[in-house]
Amino acid sequence: MDALTLARLQFGITTVYHFFFVPLSIGLSIIVAVMQTFYVRTGQERYKSMAKFWGKLLLINFAMGVVTGIVQEFQFGMNWSEYSRFVGDIFGAPLAVEALVAFFIESTFLGVWIFGWEKLSKGTHLAAIWLVALAANVSAFWILVANSFMQHPVGYQIAESGRAEMTDFIAVITNPNVLLQFPHVALGGLTTGAFFVVGISAYHLLRNRHRSLPMFQTSLRIGLIFGLVAVSGTMIFGHLQGQRMADTQPMKLASAEGLWESEDPASLSLFQIGNEQDRESVVNIRIPSLLSFLTYNTPDGLVHGINQIQAEYEQQYGPGNYVPPAIWLTYWSFRAMVGAGAAMALLAVVGLFFSYTNRMSQFKWFLRLLIAAILLPYLANSTGWLLTEVGRQPWIVQGLMTIDQAVSPNVTPAMLWITLIGFTLIYGALMVADIYLLQKFARDIGHEDPQSEMSSAAQGKNQAPLKSTY
Amino acid sequence: MDLQTVWFILIAVLFAGFFLLEGYDYGVGILLPFLGKKDAERRVIINAIGPFWDGNEVWLLTAGGAMFAAFPHWYATLFSGFYLALFLILIALILRGVAFEFRSKDDNPRWRALWDWSLFFGSAVPALLWGVAVANIVRGVAIDADMNFVGSFFDLLNPYALLGGVLTLTLFTLHGALFLELKIGGELRTRAQGVVKMLWLPVTVLALAFVGYSALETDMFANLTVLKVVGLVGAVAGLLFTGAMIFTKRYGRAFLGTAITLISTVILLFWTLFPRVMPSTLDEAFDLTIYNASSSDYTLSVMTVIAFTVVPIVLIYQAWTYRVFRKRLTVESELEY
């Protein structure tokens, strides 16, 4: 394999892996902060136990997100030096701001929260977890500002040197792309956190250990409420992103839909087997007019097909292949993401109905379904990014620079093999350790006082699980 | 002062913060398997840096981000050039970061040992390699007309750079031992004092040797500017002060001494470079300077406003955390948990 392919593979692997952890940190930190707020407001130990139980899982996950994030920051310079030289003015700025305004707060106050249960007033300690949750979301905003420039460059000019230079910082951070992408991603994170809480709570309700039941009944309901709100919001912003894509990245829209030829009115493909060589579909089950409706809110309207956009881009940018490398991947990623989102919305509605009518424990099959549903947000998050980034190809910055111009010229395939194998091995091993710990602590309802885990007399001992982790 | 100079200074400040803060927690990580004989002792040692290490590491991440934003060519040349060294640093930082979180989550002694040694290697490897990297930057590396590094990984392992690496490794260890002396009590504290006494002389000799070698390999002594003299005097005086304080058992002041040395070293090395950021050994014309490597003035001014607003706030709340966690830790105080 050549250096470009290896560098792309490495970016794909390390990024998808990094994003297994990030959304859970973003979402679960908010949910833990809310639980701890209940504790501080009501004084009920039940909420403290909840904050500590979910907080421990948050910490295991957080560490993985942090360490894999360092690789991301270094990787642009290591493998994509030409890209870094080209966009550093614009792309480097949000990365630096992210470190300054988010990473410092996150890392400092996470330490304060972990070690501060006994050293700080309740209010100050609560502020620490809120700062962590806030900073995790702020961090997502800044990295998405950087990503949005790749999808839809704004606020720049091409200088004499050939480099992209920032001309309008406000335009860069209010990129219409990020204004939709940020809520989509942040709410996707909240969805991930919510279904994580829902699934593990369902596990404990199934196990039916009397002592911990109230805690997990409450957790389950909190999770379902967050889940329903978050997944609905995620879908709304996702839909709006799709409509924008018709303007700014029509090729991505066409490849998400497997639309080879322009149509007016455009039909929505439900199941397709395509021939990517000849750029046509072999089998295609379609609903007439639906794609036009989804794109323009009217039953008709022209949606551009892959072949027409390719011809148009050849006119505009010169000869070349402007079709993403794997239409099957964008097409099925899109369907997996939307399908997972719809399934989560349905589960949350049914779950809330069972929860509020106090019938949850009668439906064991449903509780089992909720455990399995922990995986749905992960599926949606990963396929969402695959669509976003594969659908952008061959551009690294839409319309300005292609990926083959972006790779480091002095990094050889041998060097890339070393790092690719090294990262893959260590990431694989860490995944095993991470899942081992998560399942261990997700099952473990703690070393609490045998009489009553809620009793405030047990407060001192309640520190045990968390404190002993260091 | 032009914006490029402002950002050169800011990146020097970030590196100084990184050396000063992460320096001691690398040192503590290196000492962990040797000072902590029992599991409870190791936990105390880890707890001494537990609330701080992650915040310390962000100084490095911010330095990297600031380099990317302010001097994209510096970031691109350095990171693609020092490729395998950075890969090793990344592996080390990954293992180290999860080790803090994972080690005590299982009682199995082999599990604990795995993460204790991850903490050791995860601290020792970057402590060594950052010294190697910085010494290579100051010495100059093979950079071509397109600003790309054209040497090999093994060119980076020259004697001067290796001496630099051994110096940061041992200096961080001394700095970390002094930090432990201030943060922990009992038997462990006595052991930390032993390490401090053992390390001071070798570190001082290595530091003087590095300065001497720099005279041959770099422009350190060519046109001595005020800041270079300040850095040089500070670096040497800091260590001598540390020695005097160690032998009069005033360890707080001894820590101040290594802190002064670390900050002065960054000043000395950065102003040996200035206004270059990565000199080329192939041709002076290929040197990366703060001017040919920088972002546009617009980006630099935006980033200046943000940095000057945010950095003081960061300093305030990070200082506050040292107040919150000022209590000395002992095996007894931890065992109740």
What DSSP string runs through A355-368?
Answer: HHTT-GGG-HHHHH
- Substitution target from B18, B47, B54 for chain A, most A beta carbons within 10 A: B54
C-alpha distances in angstroms, A280 versus A275, A302, A307? 5, 18, 9
Torsion of CA A251, A257, A258, A260, to 10 degrees: -60
Residue B329, SS3?
strand
Distance CA A78, CA A341 (A): 36
ipTM of the complex: 0.92
Q: Which residues pair with A166 in a beta bridge?
A: A156
Distance CA B171, CA B204 (A): 9
pLDDT in tens, A114-135: 999 888 999 999 999 999 999 9
- Angle between helix axes B226-247 and B251-273 (nearest 10 degrees) is 160
Asked if residue A342 lies in contact with residue A238, where contact means CB atoms within 8 angstroms, the answer is no
Q: What is the pLDDT of residue A1?
A: 84
Whether the predicted pLDDT of A369 surpasses 50: yes
Whether the predicted pLDDT of A182 surpasses 60: yes
Distance CA A309, CA A254 (A): 9
Contact state of A104 with B70 under an 8 Å Cβ cutoff: no
Of B308, B80, B302, B8, the C-alpha closest to A156 is B302
Domain that holds residue B121: 3-336
Residue B258, SS3?
helix
Nearest CA in chain B to A425: B91
Q: How many domains does chain B have?
A: 1
pLDDT in tens, A48-82: 999 999 999 999 999 999 999 999 999 999 999 99
* The two three-digit tokens of residue A124, written as one number: 């100050």
- Angle between helix axes B3-35 and B159-183 (nearest 10 degrees) is 70
Distance CA B290, CA B5 (A): 7
* The two three-digit tokens of residue A377, written as one number: 């947000």
Distance CA B163, CA B205 (A): 11
φ, ψ (nearest 5 deg) of residue B289: -120, 170
Tell whether A270 is within 8 A of chain B (Cβ): no
AA letter at A300? D
Whether the predicted pLDDT of B334 surpasses 60: no
Q: How many CB atoms lie within 10 A of CB A34?
A: 18
Whether the predicted pLDDT of B257 surpasses 50: yes
Tell whether B114 is within 8 A of chain A (Cβ): no
What residues of chain B lie within 8 A of the CB of A433, using their CB? 98, 102
Instruction: Find tokens 């850095």 and name the residue.
Output: B231
Distance CA A272, CA A156 (A): 39
Q: Indicate the pLDDT class of residue A210, thresholds 50, 70 and 90.
A: low
pLDDT in tens, A83-102: 999 999 999 999 999 999 99
What residues of chain B lie within 8 A of the CB of A440, using their CB? 105-106
pLDDT in tens, A407-422: 999 999 999 999 999 9
Contact state of A91 with B64 under an 8 Å Cβ cutoff: no
Tell whether B94 is within 8 A of chain A (Cβ): yes
Question: For the residues of B88-128, what is the DSSP string, one character each?
Answer: HHHHHHHHHHHHHHHGGG---HHHHHHHHHHHHHHHHHHHH
Of B189, B239, B176, the C-alpha closest to B209 is B239
Distance CA B106, CA B145 (A): 54
Q: What is the pLDDT of residue B7?
A: 96
Bin A399: left if φ > 0, else alpha if -120 < ψ < 50, else beta.
left
Q: What is the pLDDT of residue B336?
A: 36
Q: How far, in whole angstroms, is CA A296 from its chain's centroid? A: 27
* The two three-digit tokens of residue B160, written as one number: 């001067």
Please name the residues in contact with A333: beta carbons below 8 A apart, sequence gap of 6 or more. Answer: A256, A383, A384, A386, A387, A390
φ, ψ (nearest 5 deg) of residue B142: -75, 100
What residues of chain A lie within 8 A of the CB of B58, using their CB? 99, 103-104, 107-108
Distance CA B178, CA B161 (A): 26
Q: What is the pLDDT of residue A446?
A: 63
- Angle between helix axes B39-49 and B3-35 (nearest 10 degrees) is 170
Distance CA B15, CA B85 (A): 18
* The two three-digit tokens of residue B153, written as one number: 């990984």
Please name the residues in contact with B331: beta carbons below 8 A apart, sequence gap of 6 or more. Answer: B38, B40, B41, B44, B186, B187, B188
Helices (H), A359-412: 364-372, 375-390
Asked if residue A92 lies in contact with residue B72, where contact means CB atoms within 8 angstroms, the answer is yes
Nearest CA in chain B to A74: B79
Contact state of B147 with A93 under an 8 Å Cβ cutoff: no
Asked if residue B147 lies in contact with residue B73, where contact means CB atoms within 8 angstroms, the answer is yes
Q: How many CB atoms lie within 10 A of CB A444?
A: 11
Q: Indicate the pLDDT class of residue A462, thresholds 50, 70 and 90.
A: very low
Asked if residue A181 lies in contact with residue A148, where contact means CB atoms within 8 angstroms, the answer is yes
